[in-house]
Structure 1
């Protein structure tokens, strides 16, 4: 999604769109966008929209987003999500990363919920299965994996 140079820190992001009964929502439209590694947003970069598969699954490779100033404080690194599907309420949220010192009370956006545990994801090393999936998407090294599963209500 947001590609840089071969020296950048790349991350495999994967997930499943579920309904409130833990059933996958196949065909959900998933739109994601983020700042680049320096914290800048671009209208035509670092943004993609795709459709979840029959099991509600989606995945993409991107760089770790950078922080940016909002007033006098930095927003935590995050990826925006907008998920839609017929018969479900739209979900608009943000994915955050553990160990970010700008989360929660340190986030200048007091309505962004960056202290909410269900939005803060662990970053881990890829498993053998992850590496197979990553190889289907890109040919360069990816050393981080994050999983985020949006939940849609009716």
Structure 2
């Protein structure tokens, strides 16, 4: 992909501008940053191991969205870790609902801080449990 972008970006930009509109500025910027991503000549950090004293040069990344596969993979990894560690433990899923003992595990018993996904709501409906879709109105 890098070679294709490097070899054809100027042509793409020229043809897009000939059509009258060109590409949005952020698209041009992301492509330009992608071509610099991971290239030591465009900036790097020197990392040194305290125990063995070995040094390594780490090139800066573009941190782009949508163009750079390397930076997208990093972002996907960070997002997945966030979901697994912080979000999903607070969402009841269908498998957990099926394993619960009824009627003690009613929606009211779970508390207001626990969200229930749509598939789990369907399962509750099929089991005959009341599903509260929104918090009660203040009185």
The structure whose residues are more often strand, as a share, is 1
Q: TM-score, normalised by structure 1?
A: 0.18
The structure whose residues are more often helix, as a share, is 2
The higher radius of gyration belongs to 2
Instruction: Report which structure shows greater RCO (CA 8 Å, sep ≥6).
Output: 1
Q: TM-score, normalised by structure 2?
A: 0.20
